[in-house]
Amino acid sequence: MRPLADNRLLTVSRYWLVLSSLGVLTACYPPLPGAGGAAASAPSPGERWNPPASAASEAANSHLAPDSLPPALEIRRAGLTPTDLVNLALERSPETRATWLGARAAAATYGEARSTLFPDISAAAAVTNLKTAATGGRVSVQQTTYGPSLSFNWLVFDFGGRTGAIDAAREGLFAANWTHNATVADVVRRAVQGYFAYVGARGLVDAQRTTLLESQVNLAATEDRRTVGVATIVEVLQARTAVSQAQLALQQAEGSLASTRGALATLVGLPPSAAFDVDTTEAGTPVAALADAVDSLMKRGLLDRPDLAAERAQVDVRRAEAREARSQYLPSLSAIGAAGTTWVGSNPQDFPSYSIGLSLAIPLFNGFGWQYAARAAALTADAEAARLRTMELQVALQVFQTYQELRTATQSVSTSNELFASASAAVDAARARYREGVGSLLELLTAENSLASARAQRIQSRVEWHTSLVQLAHDAGLLEPSGATGLRLAPAPDGNQ
């Protein structure tokens, strides 16, 4: 009895040892894994995580765009036209390249979907070495069989599932191409608007230089008048203050110009620090009222906006996907077949075989999963259609609002011209009165401040008119890849420049 008890004790001990070991292993959590030789996370919430060396090598691949232009544009780097800027932006934009590649990928997806119209054909070759055991009075047999085979499976009919997938891929291709067109239009819009913004910023710098020059002339005149005893030190200090204010405004305008030029350079694929300039001829075109009616432009927007066309294609994608989902709980008919031959060992004779037939698959029940999937797809299509309707309303509203902004900008140009003319006349009168000794320096400085403001408003109103015109053409789907707006303008009135 003693050996049996010892064996039982040994068995129980081993059992508890295994359980204890499993408990210890379960209680000891493994450390969090890191990747690429780096720690899994920062040592504490207040410390930084040190990235692996691979991150530094990947970051080294980042680089600025080269400061280079095509030879035809390099010779006139200091006078790029809006067309030049648009062409550069379209050629170098990573956004248009991404959408173009997306459209090509969608075309490949469409080709993949259409491949289901053809049978799946597979070829195979097998080699088998077989040896049976010598049991039950049988002798052991060893043989090698080998041979090729060919099989096919062709979906003949499935109640719209295959055609639904093909239609979804086709509409997805349309959507991808419309999205590319929308991206092209947006890049063109930003390039042209960036051109006018830069021209306006440069005009403001010139205007501030004129204001500074006038302030310096006033300071010199005031100092001369004080020398002969007809001006006070207060007037000299007022003139110096005006010069300092003009210098500050000029410095701010120059900073804004540099920032605007950097933004325009980035738009056309140049580094922000690139040295270039633009031809301002197009910015000097006469400002005129729009001849197109707002209702016709809203209709054009609904017809020609590429982003709206892309959304329509997405609705068709969802409807095709709903048809595909609905076919999942309906029967499908396929043609199947196989053919092959087999050789056994060194036997020169082959043993061909083949099979061909029809396969009918009838889904019966899967917990109503197919029905729910079809219902979800149908509701998703309805939701997409609702989003399309919302987008149509937004497009119409965008056209209407931009149309009103353009009308306001047109009126602002006319008003700013009148304001500039009256402010210039007021400065001339105040300067003449000051020279004759019947007017004060404060009166002259006030008039010149009004003139500086009117000069800036005149420039800004023209910029707003040009940018609103481009925005309206974009919103109405009329902006051409060359940058032309395609909008009809009324003849410009005389003097409205």
Per the CB < 8 A criterion, the answer to whether 285 and 492 are in contact is no
- Asked whether residue 495 carries a pLDDT value surpassing 70, the answer given is no
Lowest mean pLDDT segment, chosen from 87-91, 129-133, 227-231: 129-133
Q: What's the mean pLDDT in 322-348?
A: 88
Q: What's the mean pLDDT in 309-313?
A: 97
pLDDT for the residue numbered 8 = 62
pLDDT for the residue numbered 436 = 83
pLDDT band at 5 (very low <50, low <70, confident <90, very high): low
pLDDT band at 52 (very low <50, low <70, confident <90, very high): confident
In three-state form (DSSP H/G/I as H, E/B as E, the rest C), the secondary structure along the chain is: CHHHHHHHHHHHHHHHHHHHHHHHHHHCCCCCCCCCCCCCCCCCCCCCCCCCHHHHHHHHCCCCCCCCCCHHHHCCHHHECHHHHHHHHHHHCHHHHHHHHHHHHHHHHHHHHHHHHCCEEEEEEEEEEEECCCCCCCCCCEEEEEEEEEEEEEEEECCCHHHHHHHHHHHHHHHHHHHHHHHHHHHHHHHHHHHHHHHHHHHHHHHHHHHHHHHHHHHHHHHHHHHCCCCCHHHHHHHHHHHHHHHHHHHHHHHHHHHHHHHHHHHCCCCCCCCCCECCCHHHCCCCCECCCHHHHHHHHHHHCHHHHHHHHHHHHHHHHHHHHHHHHCCEEEEEEEEEEEEECCCCCEEEEEEEEEEEECCCCCCCHHHHHHHHHHHHHHHHHHHHHHHHHHHHHHHHHHHHHHHHHHHHHHHHHHHHHHHHHHHHHHHHHHHHCCCCHHHHHHHHHHHHHHHHHHHHHHHHHHHHHHHHHHHCCCCCCCCCCCCCECCCCCCCC
pTM: 0.85
Domains, the chain: 91-117+158-330+367-475 (1.20.1600.10)
Lowest mean pLDDT segment, chosen from 203-217, 230-244, 245-259, 403-417: 230-244
Per the CB < 8 A criterion, the answer to whether 214 and 447 are in contact is no
- Asked whether residue 252 carries a pLDDT value surpassing 60, the answer given is yes
pLDDT band at 18 (very low <50, low <70, confident <90, very high): low
Lowest mean pLDDT segment, chosen from 91-95, 435-439, 485-489: 435-439
The Cα–Cα gap between 302 and 297 comes to 9
- Asked whether residue 122 carries a pLDDT value surpassing 60, the answer given is yes
For the chain, give the percent of residues with pLDDT over 70: 91
- Asked whether residue 439 carries a pLDDT value surpassing 60, the answer given is yes
Lowest mean pLDDT segment, chosen from 28-37, 174-183, 192-201: 28-37
The Cα–Cα gap between 146 and 342 comes to 6
pLDDT band at 30 (very low <50, low <70, confident <90, very high): confident
